[in-house]
Amino acid sequence: MDNESPWALGLDIGGTKIVGGLVNARGELATVHGKPIIIRYEYDGMTEGSSRAQELLVRIGQELLAVPTVSQAQISAVGIGVAGTVDFTQGRVVIDSANVPGMEEIDFPTLCIEQFGVPGYADNDVNCAAYAEAHFGAGRGCNPVFCATLGAGVGGGLIVAGQVYRGFFGSAMEIGHTVVNYQGGPCPCGGTGHLEKWFATAAIEKRLAQAIQQHPNCLIGQYSAIVQRPRVEALFAAVRDNDPVAQSILDDLLEMLAAALGTVSSLLVPEVVVIGGGIAQAGEVLFAPLRAKLPKYIAYPSGAYLPAIVPAALGPEATLIGAGALALAERGKAKSS
Ligand SMILES: [Zn+2]
C-alpha cells in the first residue's frame, strides 16, 4: 500500500445507509489483507433524520482514521457524496432529497474541519459516482461521460474534460426530472410528467402490485410471493422467463428511460453513457432492449452518432470513491492557487 501520497475519507450518505472508505487520487481504496476497508451503517434517513446522519458520518470517519494502513498524517481531505441538490462551493445541501430530510442543516466543510482537521467537500452523490466512473471506471478515456443511476430515483451526472458539470447551481443533470410525458401528471418533485414518476423503485413496485392483482397467475406474482412483496428483481426474473405481463411493463419502463436518455444524448452528445445503481444490476435483460430503443429518440437517428450504453464498473462504492478522489483534486487546486 502507498505510504506517501495523500488519501481522503470518502463518504456516501444515502437514504438507507452511510458508507465510508479511504480513497487515493487514483481512485483506489485502502485495504487490509488485500480487502478494501469499507465501513457501513444502515439507517433510515426518513425517520432518523440528518442529525443521526451527521453522527454516523463522524463515527465512520473516526473508525477509518483508526485504520493502521494509512497514517492519519496522509489524510488531507474529506469527500462527501450526498443525495439532494448540493451547492458545491458552500459544501451544503440546498434542496433536500426526498429520502433524507433536514440535510440542509449540515455545514459539511465546518464539520470536517472540526471533526477531522482537514477540508471537506460535499457534492451530489451521483456527481461523485459519475466522477469515479469517468476517471477510474466504465467511462475512463471517454469525454464527455454521462452517468445515470437507476434506483430509488434516477440520478444523473456529467463529466466534461474530467470535471463535474454542475450548472448554475448544483442541480444539473437530473435526468429523473426530465419530461417523458407532458400529460403524465405530477412527479413527486412537484414538476409534471418526469421520468421519476414512473421509473423509481417505489413507483415500479406499486405498478407490479397492481399487475399482480390484475393477473394473479403472472410470474411476477409467483416470484414476488417468495419475498412477500413485489420487488424489481421479480420483474426481471419474470421477463427472463418470458412472462408477457412482465415483458410489457419492462418494455414501457425502458421506452421512457430511452426517451430521456435520447434527449440527454442529443443535447450533450456524450461519448459514453454509463448506467449504474441497483436496478442496473439486472444486466443485459435491461441493457439490450434499452440499446435497441435508444436510436429512435436520438437527433438524426440515421446519422453516425450513437453513444455507447455501458454498465457501471465500480459497483456500490462508486459514490464514495468519487467523493474522495474529487476532494483530493479540489484540495490540490486549493494548495496550488
Ligand atoms: Zn420530478
> Could you tell me if residue 1 is inside a domain?
no
Three-state DSSP state, 25: coil
Whether 75 and 114 map to the same domain: the answer is yes
Rounded to the nearest whole angstrom, what is the distance from the C-alpha of residue 32 to the centroid of ligand 1? 42
Q: What is the pLDDT of residue 226?
A: 73
Whether 212 and 326 map to the same domain: the answer is no
Q: What is the pLDDT of residue 97?
A: 76
What predicted TM-score, i.e. pTM, was given to this entire model?
0.95
Residue 8 near residue 22, CB atoms below 8 Å: yes
Rounded to the nearest whole angstrom, what is the distance from the C-alpha of residue 158 to the centroid of ligand 1? 19
Rounded to the nearest whole angstrom, what is the distance from the C-alpha of residue 269 to the centroid of ligand 1? 23
Rounded to the nearest whole angstrom, what is the distance from the C-alpha of residue 268 to the centroid of ligand 1? 20
Whether 46 and 167 map to the same domain: the answer is no
Rounded to the nearest whole angstrom, what is the distance from the C-alpha of residue 303 to the centroid of ligand 1? 31
Rounded to the nearest whole angstrom, what is the distance from the C-alpha of residue 97 to the centroid of ligand 1? 11
Q: What is the pLDDT of residue 22?
A: 97
> Could you tell me if residue 36 is inside a domain?
yes
Average pLDDT of adjacent 10-residue blocks, the chain of 337 residues: 80 94 96 94 90 94 90 92 94 84 92 96 97 98 98 95 94 95 94 96 95 93 80 95 97 98 96 97 97 94 88 97 98 84
Helix or strand (DSSP H, E) at 32:
strand 31-32
Residue 158 near residue 170, CB atoms below 8 Å: no
Rounded to the nearest whole angstrom, what is the distance from the C-alpha of residue 193 to the centroid of ligand 1? 7
Residue 78 near residue 61, CB atoms below 8 Å: yes
Rounded to the nearest whole angstrom, what is the distance from the C-alpha of residue 320 to the centroid of ligand 1? 25
What's the CATH code of the domain at 12?
3.30.420.40
Residue 200 is placed in which grid cell?
Answer: 423509481
Whether 79 and 147 map to the same domain: the answer is no
- Look at the chain and report how many structural domains it folds into: 2
179: β partners: 194
- Helices and strands of the chain, counted as H and E runs: 9, 14
Q: What is the pLDDT of residue 46?
A: 87
> Could you tell me if residue 101 is inside a domain?
yes
- How many Cα atoms within 13 Å fall on the side-chain side of residue 131? 29
Query: CA separation (Å) from 313 to 32, 39, 140, 280, 310?
Result: 22, 20, 10, 11, 9
56 Cβ contact partners less than 8 Å away, ≥ 6 residues apart: 18, 41, 43
Full domain range(s) for residue 327:
7-131+316-336
Whether 144 and 287 map to the same domain: the answer is yes
Whether 225 and 105 map to the same domain: the answer is no
Whether 160 and 284 map to the same domain: the answer is yes
> Could you tell me if residue 188 is inside a domain?
yes
Is the CA virtual torsion 226, 229, 234, 238 positive or negative?
positive
Q: Pick from 82, 78, 48, 85: which is nearest to 60 by CA?
A: 78
Rounded to the nearest whole angstrom, what is the distance from the C-alpha of residue 309 to the centroid of ligand 1? 23
Whether 27 and 105 map to the same domain: the answer is yes
Query: CA separation (Å) from 181 to 70, 197, 198, 228, 292?
Result: 51, 10, 10, 32, 20
Q: What is the pLDDT of residue 23?
A: 97
Q: What is the pLDDT of residue 3?
A: 57
Residue 159 near residue 147, CB atoms below 8 Å: yes
> Could you tell me if residue 2 is inside a domain?
no
Amino acid at 31: T
Rounded to the nearest whole angstrom, what is the distance from the C-alpha of residue 2 to the centroid of ligand 1? 44
Whether 265 and 186 map to the same domain: the answer is yes
Rounded to the nearest whole angstrom, what is the distance from the C-alpha of residue 167 to the centroid of ligand 1? 17
Q: What is the pLDDT of residue 24?
A: 96
Whether 158 and 226 map to the same domain: the answer is yes
> Could you tell me if residue 283 is inside a domain?
yes
Rounded to the nearest whole angstrom, what is the distance from the C-alpha of residue 65 to the centroid of ligand 1? 39
Whether 61 and 170 map to the same domain: the answer is no
Omega cis (within 30) before 216:
no
Whether 78 and 105 map to the same domain: the answer is yes
